[in-house]
């Protein structure tokens, strides 16, 4: 991985950790969405320090870490070291079971919640099962935070209902072929492929934006 690709990987990883879209980052720093996308893909030939500094500010990370230097990921605000600041937590409903293709979340009568940072822009969370996504650093028992949405972009990790069970896989949908490929992040497993009428039994319930390790 070259320097530009490493920068792109770190931008994408941190953006997903915060649950931000390419457009949201672009709006914060005042550039086009395509500019952020090219940085993430490592396609920028000349890295501009002012842009990197603005991206780092939007992602709340150290700009030197963003360009691959062996420094702390998070910037230190020395002016506030003398102040005590509370850690703000939020309760995220945990996905329970699936009934007739519909997810059942925690509610007032069934309190199963996960406390995590309020910075996470998610609607609910679930517990990962198995090792099919270890290549994406998601291990069995990890808590995965999901932003509820009926479709995701190709290559994103989606929470998908199949036969009243939820699975996490990378989503690739080909409109012209009416073909869906759900790809694992473990070479021990084959991709799941659905075509035509088989798609009627598949439902995307959201995009995975970050996880909390159980290790």
Mean per-residue pLDDT of the chain: 83
Tell me if the pTM is above 0.75: no
- Would residue 109 show up in a list of annotated catalytic residues for this protein? no
**98-116 residue pLDDT tens:** 555 566 665 544 557 888 8
Q: Token pair for residue 141?
A: 């028992």
Identify the DSSP state of 77.
Answer: -
- Of 46, 52, 50, nearest to 7 (Cα)? 52
Domains of the chain in start order, with CATH, are 3-72 (1.10.260.40), 90-212 (2.10.109.10)
Q: b/e per residue, 94-112, with b = 16+ CB within 10 A?
A: bbeebeeeebebbeeeeee
- Would residue 82 show up in a list of annotated catalytic residues for this protein? no
Catalytic residue among 91, 117, 169, 179: 169
Catalytic residue among 109, 132, 177, 183: 132
pLDDT exceeds cutoff 50 at 3: yes
CA angle 37-211-134, nearest 5°? 85
pLDDT at 199: 93
**12-56 residue pLDDT tens:** 999 898 898 999 888 888 888 888 898 889 888 777 777 888 888
User: Half-sphere exposure of 69 toward its Cβ, with a 13 Å CA cutoff?
Assistant: 9
pLDDT at 81: 42
């Amino acid at each position: 991985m070259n320097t530009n690709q490493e920068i792109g990987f770190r931008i994408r990883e941190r953006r997903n950790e915060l649950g931000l879209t390419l457009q949201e980052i672009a709006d914060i720093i005042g550039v086009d969405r395509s500019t952020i996308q090219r940085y993430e893909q490592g396609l920028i030939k000349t890295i501009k320090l002012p842009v990197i500094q603005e991206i780092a500010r939007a992602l709340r990370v150290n700009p030197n870490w963003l360009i691959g230097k062996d420094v702390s990921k998070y910037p230190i605000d020395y002016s506030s070291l003398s102040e005590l600041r509370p850690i703000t937590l939020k309760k995220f409903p945990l996905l329970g079971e699936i009934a007739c293709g519909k997810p059942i979340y925690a509610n007032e009568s069934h309190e199963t919640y996960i406390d995590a940072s309020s910075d996470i822009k998610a609607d609910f969370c679930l517990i990962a099962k198995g090792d099919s996504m270890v290549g994406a650093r998601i291990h069995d028992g990890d808590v995965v935070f999901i932003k509820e949405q009926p479709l995701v972009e190709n290559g994103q990790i989606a929470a998908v209902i199949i036969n009243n069970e939820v699975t996490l896989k990378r989503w690739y949908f080909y409109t012209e072929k009416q073909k869906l490929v759900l790809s694992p992040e473990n070479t021990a497993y084959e991709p799941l492929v659905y075509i035509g009428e088989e798609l009627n039994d598949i439902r995307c319930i959201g995009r995975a934006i970050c996880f909390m390790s159980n290790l």
